Chains A and B, each alone.
Chain A
Amino acid sequence: MLALVVPLAFGLAQRASPSRSAPPGANASATAKVVAAANAFLATLSDAERTKATFDFTSSQRTGWSNLPTGIFQRNGLRFGDLTTQQREAALALVAAALSRSGYQKVTDIMNADEVLKNRGGGRTGGRQGGGGSGRGGIQFGLDEYYLALLGAPSATAPWMIQFGGHHLAINVTVVGPNNVMTPSLPATQPARYVLNGQTIRPLGNENDKGFALINALDAAQQKQAILDYKVSDLVLGPGADGKVIQPEGILASALNASQQTLLLDVVHEWVGILNDDAAAAKMAEIKANLPRTYFAWSGSTTNGGLAYYRIQGPTLVIEYAPQQGDLEHIHTIYRDPTNDYGARLVKP
């Protein structure tokens, strides 16, 4: 399990009626892993810490997530900066167990970006108001400012949820028997590019590059359908927009050829593939089945390095990629399933 944990840097490391569930047992091993990791994490906590970390599955904490930093938005759960090394490792092992190897890497890259932001004293579009990035009482960035909460008791049968997040990151994984669901989640980053141990890191570089590759793979007539003639300056279905389904726009995937559809699915996989491989494979199969009813919309420059927003929307999928206020170093994205956010399709009322 711990072999999956990529060490953190900086010394610390549309309406549809799809099937209700994955094939029985399809993801049972992934669920068993994540249940074991959750119980291992809980075992490192004192009673008081366990009380602070856990919530009822149906509590309002479920929708109480945000992309905003500490000081603007107060998260619940256990703050990484308050954990011992052992507890922190167990917490990260739990996150790693729920995600794929590449997904966990993406998450750590996003967290490390926030540490970079902290060391730079905040960002141009960071929402920072005066004070230092780590000052008491002010807006705070960095690795200590991530929170982990569990909703419901870890179980291979009953529904429960892992909520992990901080500035520019909200990962919500709902586990219902063999099914693992990662919607809604919000991977974002600022900066979008930084150097760590001599290596250039772009946490959402694939999302950017694959998006531009797709729009440039379309012919002129297809681009005319895909490209919106207006500016989109932010996420349309960001935090707080649970349950909203907007009228889709852009080009239907059924109007794309096979290689273009492959590119589209490859873009989608950047979000879906954050979750563990078994669950991601099941979700990709569902998205592929709905591909003829999936739209791709683009707004902005078609030259990689320019400013552009895009949205992919299908019956069980919404993805948005939105640079913030003209800043290519500040990217927000959202990943939703309007039929299954928080496992709604799987959890009996």
Chain B
Amino acid sequence: MPAGAHRLDEYLQATRLAIDVDRVSLEIDLTAGVSVARRVFGWIDTNRDGQISSTEGHAYAQQMLGAVVVSVDGRTAPLSLIDSRFPEARDMTAGAGTIRLRATANLPAAASGRHQLSYFNGHQSETSVYLVNALIPEDPRIQIAAQQRDAAQHRLTIDYDVATHSPWARTSWLLVGLAAVGLLAVSRRAPLNR
């Protein structure tokens, strides 16, 4: 697992959002700088045994996600934790280990047209710096039209368009249509060999 940057006195919360027609997926990477790492570790290691158990990790992941709000077209989309991975205590306290959370929010299938996704992360804002970015959608029917953030990247608003059919699908149907017309024309001109 590649390791990221080394930080000192900040808790870096980096989020990447992937928009699909019927869901939003979040990749959240949390890296505590060395000066704040013990404090962050203490938030997670609630029984103070120096280890992060699966129960403690899950509880912290849920707590963190509880501070994240995703809404689409004004309706809040509840987040479900998909996966959480925690580094070794030694790596975390060295300011290097990264907590990796993966979450998703299911949405009603988006109709064609303009939509707006809003993201807010308010987790531990007094010690944190934030990055939030939209990934280019995998589905070619979805095109991101605009992004707006606040100065600290707590918030990101994404305007995106959903097309009824992908350009490729439209092209395919057009080709099929043209082929059908062509075949019809040829069949009408061809002499009948009876």
**Known interface pairs A229-B151, A247-B135. Does A324 touch B7 (Cβ–Cβ under 8 Å)?**
yes
User: In the complex the two chains form, what is the Cα distance from A66 to B4 in whole Å?
Assistant: 7
**Which of B8, B29, B149 makes the CB contact (< 8 A) with A325?**
B8
Contact status A232-B16, CB under 8 Å: no
Stretch at the interface among A154-162, A237-245, A276-284: A237-245
Closest chain A CB from B117 CB (angstroms): 12
Chain A 49-86 against B: per-residue CB contact (8 Å), 1 yes, 0 no?
00000000000000111111101110000000000000
A249 CA to B91 CA, complexed, in Å: 33
The reply on A128 being an interface residue by CB < 8 A is yes
Q: How large is the interface on B (under 10, 10 to 19, 20 to 34, 35 or more residues)?
A: 35 or more
CB distance from B121 to the nearest CB of A (A): 13
Q: Does A129 lie within 8 Å of B29, measured CB to CB?
A: no
Indicate whether A15 reaches chain B with its CB closer than 8 angstroms.
Answer: yes
Q: Which of A93-101, A119-127, A204-212, A257-265 contacts B (4 or more CB under 8 A)?
A: A119-127
Stretch at the interface among B49-57, B72-80, B94-102: B94-102
| A233-B6 in contact given A127-B96, A244-B135 (Cβ < 8 Å) | no
Instruction: Please name all residues of chain B whose beta carbon is closer than 8 Å to the beta carbon of A235 when the two chains form the complex.
Output: 4-5
- Given the interface pairs A127-B7, A231-B152, A235-B5, the reply to whether A68 lies near B129 with Cβ below 8 Å is no
Question: When chains A and B are docked, how far (Å) is the Cα of A236 from the Cα of B15?
Answer: 9
Given A72-B96, A139-B94, answer yes or no on A233-B2 (Cβ-Cβ < 8 Å). no
Q: Could you say which residues of chain A place their CB within 8 Å of the CB of B134?
A: 246-247
Judge whether B12 is part of the interface by a CB distance below 8 angstroms.
yes
CA distance A244 to B14 in the complex (A): 13
Residues of A within 8 A of B185 (CB): none
In contact, B91 and A72 (Cβ under 8 angstroms): yes
Are A234 and B135 in contact, CB atoms less than 8 angstroms apart?
Answer: no
Instruction: Contact check, B149 vs A230: say whether CB atoms are below 8 A apart.
Output: yes
Evaluate whether A324 and B94 lie within 8 angstroms (CB atoms) in the complex, with A232-B131, A236-B14 already known.
no
Contact A249 B14 (CB under 8 A): no
**Given contacts A127-B8, A139-B94, A234-B14, are A73 and B3 in contact (CB under 8 A)?**
yes
| Docked CA distance A245–B17 (Å) | 11
With A231-B152, A231-B153 as contacts: A238 and B5 at CB distance below 8 Å: yes
Which residues from B are CB-within-8-Å of A228?
Answer: 149
Is there a chain B Cβ closer than 8 Å to A14's Cβ? yes
B184 located at the interface, meaning its Cβ lies under 8 Å from any Cβ of chain A in the complex: no
Tell me, yes or no, whether B10 is within 8 Å of chain A by CB: yes
With contact pairs A240-B3, A240-B98, A245-B136 given, residues A230 and B10 touching in the complex (Cβ less than 8 Å): no
- B83 contact set on A, CB distance < 8 A: none
Given contacts A66-B3, A129-B95, contact A325 B151 (CB under 8 A): no
Chain B, 119-136, contact with A by CB distance < 8 Å: what is the 0/1 string? Answer: 000000000011101111
Judging by beta carbons under 8 Å apart, are A73 and B96 in contact?
yes
Contact A245 B5 (CB under 8 A): no
Contact of A67 among B5, B10, B130, B150 (CB under 8 A): B5
B4 cross-chain contacts in A, Cβ below 8 A: 66-68, 235, 238-240
CB of B115 to closest CB in A, whole Å: 15
Q: Is A88 an interface residue (CB 8 A)?
A: no
Question: Are A229 and B149 in contact, CB atoms less than 8 angstroms apart?
Answer: yes
A332: CB under 8 A from chain B? yes
B residues in contact with A242, CB < 8 Å: 2
Q: Evaluate contact between B151 and A230: CB separation under 8 angstroms.
A: yes
- In the assembled complex, the Cα of A235 lies from the Cα of B150 at a distance in Å of 18
Please list the 4 inter-chain residue pairs (A to B) with the smallest Cβ-Cβ separation, ordered nearest first.
A127-B6, A239-B2, A72-B96, A240-B2
Question: CB within 8 Å of A: which residues of B?
Answer: 1-10, 12, 14, 16, 29, 33-34, 91, 93-96, 98, 129-131, 133-136, 144, 147, 149-153
Interface residues of A (CB under 8 A from B): 14-15, 63-69, 71-73, 124-129, 139, 228-236, 238-240, 242, 244-247, 249, 324-325, 332
Sample 19 A-B pairs with CB under 8 A, ordered by A number: A14-B136, A63-B2, A68-B3, A68-B4, A69-B6, A124-B8, A125-B8, A126-B8, A127-B94, A129-B95, A230-B153, A232-B131, A233-B12, A234-B12, A239-B4, A242-B2, A244-B16, A245-B136, A325-B33
